[in-house]
Amino acid sequence: MGHRYGRIGAAIAVGGLLASMLGAGPAAAADPPTDVVLDAVATVHQADPDEGPIAGATITITVYRDPAAPIQTVTATTNGSGDATLGGLARPADGASPVLLDVRSDRTRSVVDANGCTETLSWSSEKVGLAAGPTIDIVLDPAAKSISIDCPEPTAAVQAATGRPQITPPSTDAAPGAARAEGRAPLLPIILVLLCAAAATVPLRGLAAAPAGRRRGPR
């Protein structure tokens, strides 16, 4: 019996701890001023001049009298037509001082191409200081668009395959035999001249010796 009561007591203690943790969630927003009614509805439209309505954009509306102390901040996402409807917004009660709205739209989209490069497109637009009322239609100006492209660094295998320069050898390197033959070619005319000179010298010496022999004969 003692063990059973011990287990029950432990379970109650754990349950109390969980309840206290769950009850300690985000602090509730301050109550709106007494001259403010939370029943306004705003419809926001966002489009790109080139691509048309922007779907999936985050619309953020901040309601305030003093920008440093907003009454509320509400968000929604645009549908396929680029529209978002936000209800329960604060507006001034009849005869109360004005309540203002700041409206902002943000959208980021990333696409990876066949080369592994990531193209990131971002849109942003806003309107500030709009007067709150029961029904508000807001068409944001064409969103400012930015595009960035990020490509991965080449891998070591790609650098090894494409980073080695191709060297084309000069013609003399491609035909070394021809180069050696051209180097010997200037000697050939000289050799031929020497052979011709030697051939011409031998007959002349023979002719010069013949008359001398004939003169010695009669004696």
Q: Identify the structural domains of the chain with CATH numbers, from first to last.
A: 36-157 (2.60.40.1120)
Average pLDDT over residues 101-128: 92
The single residue listed with the structure tokens 């004969």 is 217
Q: Is the pLDDT of residue 177 over 50?
A: yes
Closest CA to 59 of 72, 40, 78: 78
**What single letter denotes the amino acid at residue 216?**
R
Please give the span between the terminal C-alpha atoms of the chain, in angstroms, as a whole number. Answer: 172
- Residue pair 49/99 in contact by the 8 Å Cβ criterion: no
CA–CA distance, 101 with 42 (Å, rounded to integer): 10
Q: Is the pLDDT of residue 47 over 60?
A: yes
Reported pTM: 0.56
Least confident among 114-123, 140-149, 184-193, 205-214: 205-214
Closest CA to 139 of 45, 28, 74: 45
pLDDT of residue 40: 96
Least confident among 11-15, 20-24, 80-84: 20-24
Q: Which of 38 and 162 is assigned the larger pLDDT?
A: 38
**What single letter denotes the amino acid at residue 218?**
P
Determine how many CB atoms are found less than 10 A away from the CB of residue 47: 22
pLDDT of residue 20: 37
pLDDT of residue 164: 55
Least confident among 3-7, 71-75, 82-86, 202-206: 3-7
> Can you give the three-state secondary structure of the chain, one letter per residue?
CHHHHHHHHHHHHHHHHHHHHHHCCCCCCCCCCCCEEEEEEEEEECEECCCEECCCCEEEEEEECECCECCEEEEEECCCCCEEEEEEEEEECCCCCCCEEEEEEEEEEEEECCCCCEEEEEEEEEEEEEECCCEEEEECCCCEEEEEEECCCCCHHHHHHHCCCCCCCCHHHHCHHHHHHHHHCCHHHHHHHHHHHHHHHHHHHHHHHHHHHHHHCCC
Give the pLDDT band of residue 35 (cuts 50, 70, 90). Answer: very high
Mean pLDDT (the chain) is 75
Task: Count Cβ atoms within 10 A of the Cβ of residue 45 and give its class: 0-12 exposed, 13-18 middle, 19 or more buried.
Answer: middle
pLDDT of residue 194: 76
The winner for highest mean pLDDT among 23-27, 155-159, 186-190 is 186-190
Q: Which of 68 and 11 is assigned the larger pLDDT?
A: 68
Average pLDDT over residues 119-146: 91
